[in-house]
């Protein structure tokens, strides 16, 4: 009996070793002509991926009759992958990943250089993981879509994401050093990254369906979850927290969305003024403000700060906040979930993320705002989870989440 117990312990130990280290046996590929090409696509870092049980499902949505095609279709559904660590769930809160605009949930899997992605990082920590394709993108594309916006061009992707240091339209761009490869079209790593970018839609219907589908997902999970978001995915998390706050334990926002009431996307090309948008402050659709508002006009605004330049380049944008001399409306539902807001040293977001943080705090939301360079994490751009030091940043997020485990 003792021998059987020891054997069982060894088996369990080996299973857990496999959960945390999964070397690939390439001998099976040696006789295949496509092995070198396949290896170059997969990358050596594929050996680092965590073992997990995988399933997928769609949530949300409803049937509607479409007069144009003369039949009933499903709209509003959202694609979700569920990954359960092979060694079992060790953490209290599941993690739900939301990608940024124009990308899909693949950005949380292996990185374009083949390295370990954040999904594997958190699986190895014992988290149950869900990866969403936000409604309107990828496997959540929908017949109800308004016309798709063109996906990012290679030129705009280089300027904004992979190689802003080569196009220093804003001051902080020069500090970018963490992208693997040279960041330009033709480099295998850039090409692998760019292949993941898809057309997107950001509209009132997109936000309405995303909010509904995300709350449906959180109800399916049935336990308060940690939402980890990137860029435009941040708005989905704020909308879901507003609609179903008791199902959100916390929000890790990686350069979430944009600035209140305006966009500074064109700052990557040196634009000095933003474009009006998000009439409800952080969204295109109504939120549960307190006191309640009847229209966006009830949110009285004021400009805080001025445009700043350093060495002849834009280095900081002004913010639009609620006017403190008028009624300041709070977001009590959004405020139920604390936020860790991470901003990198070299992204265009370094010029304006403080605006969204200030607006959230003004609305009563608890936000820990971390500029990564203040923690000694230097050289990152907007896609920090895909860059060379991504695990260091994941560790910062994991540490913050750990502080919520007792809550």
The CA angle 344-346-352, to the nearest 5 degrees, is: 70
Tokens 């050289």 label which residue? 379
What distance lies between CA 193 and its chain's CA centroid? 15
- For the chain, give the longest Cα–Cα distance: 77
Which string of DSSP letters, residue by residue, matches 327-365? Answer: PPPB-TTGGGS-EEEEE-SSSGGGGTHHHHHHHHHHTT-
- Alpha carbons 230 and 253: distance in angstroms, whole number: 6
Query: What are the phi and psi torsion angles at 344 (to 5°)?
Result: -85, 170
**Positive/negative CA dihedral, 269, 271, 276, 278:** positive
What is the enclosing helix (H) or strand (E) of 226?
strand 225-230
Instruction: Please indicate whether residue 231 is annotated as part of the active site.
Output: yes
Quick one: which of 247, 272, 225 has its CA closest to 404? 225
User: Which token pair is 193?
Assistant: 């990254």
What is the enclosing helix (H) or strand (E) of 233?
helix 233-243
What distance lies between CA 400 and its chain's CA centroid? 16
Q: Which of 140, 231, 235, 283 is catalytic?
A: 231
Q: Which residues of 230-243 are buried (b: 16+ CB within 10 A; e: fewer)?
A: bbbbbbbbbbbbbb
What distance lies between CA 283 and its chain's CA centroid? 16
Quick one: which of 17, 12, 214 has its CA closest to 96? 214
User: Which token pair is 89?
Assistant: 């769930």
Respond yes or no on whether the N-terminal peptide bond of residue 291 is cis (omega within 30° of 0): yes
User: Which token pair is 104?
Assistant: 């899909």
Helices 204-221 and 233-243, packing angle to 10 deg: 60
- Alpha carbons 162 and 390: distance in angstroms, whole number: 14
Contact 228, 127 (CB under 8 A): no
Q: Which residues are catalytic?
A: 231
């Amino acid at each position: 009996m003792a021998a059987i117990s020891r054997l069982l312990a060894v088996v369990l130990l080996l299973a857990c070793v496999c959960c945390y280290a999964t070397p690939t046996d390439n001998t099976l590929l040696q006789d295949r002509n496509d092995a070198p090409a396949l290896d170059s696509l997969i990358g050596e870092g594929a050996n680092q991926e965590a073992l997990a049980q995988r399933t997928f499902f769609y949530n949300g949505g409803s049937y509607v009759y479409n007069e144009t095609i003369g039949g009933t279709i499903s709209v509003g559904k959202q694609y979700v992958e569920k990954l359960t660590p092979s060694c079992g769930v060790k953490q209290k809160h599941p993690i739900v990943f939301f990608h940024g605009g124009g990308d899909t949930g693949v950005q949380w899997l292996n990185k374009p250089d083949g390295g370990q992605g954040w999904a594997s990082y958190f699986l190895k920590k014992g988290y149950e993981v869900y990866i969403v394709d936000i409604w309107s993108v990828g496997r959540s594309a929908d017949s109800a879509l308004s016309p798709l916006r063109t996906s990012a061009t290679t030129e705009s992707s280089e300027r904004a994401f992979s190689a802003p240091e080569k196009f220093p339209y804003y001051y902080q761009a020069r500090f970018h050093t963490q992208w693997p490869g040279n960041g330009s079209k033709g480099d295998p790593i850039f090409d692998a990254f760019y292949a993941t970018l898809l057309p997107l839609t950001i509209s009132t219907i997109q936000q309405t369906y995303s909010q509904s589908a995300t709350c449906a997902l959180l109800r399916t999970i049935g336990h308060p979850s940690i939402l980890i978001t990137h860029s435009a995915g941040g708005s989905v998390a704020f909308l879901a927290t507003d609609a179903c706050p008791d199902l959100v334990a916390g929000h890790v926002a990686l350069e979430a969305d944009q600035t209140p009431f305006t966009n500074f996307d064109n700052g990557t090309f040196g634009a000095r003024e933003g474009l009006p948008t998000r009439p409800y402050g952080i969204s295109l659709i109504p939120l549960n403000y307190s006191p309640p508002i009847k229209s966006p006009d009830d949110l009285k605004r004021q400009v805080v700060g001025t445009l700043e330049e350093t060495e002849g380049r834009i280095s900081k944008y002004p913010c639009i906040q609620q006017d403190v001399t008028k009624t300041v409306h709070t977001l009590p539902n959004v405020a139920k979930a604390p936020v860790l807001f991470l901003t990198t040293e070299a992204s265009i977001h370094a010029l304006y993320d403080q605006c969204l943080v200030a607006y959230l705090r003004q609305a009563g939301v608890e936000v820990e705002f971390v500029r990564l360079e203040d923690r000694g994490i230097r050289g990152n751009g907007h896609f920090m989870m895909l860059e060379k030091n991504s695990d260091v940043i994941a560790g910062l997020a994991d540490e913050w989440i750990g502080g919520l485990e007792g809550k």
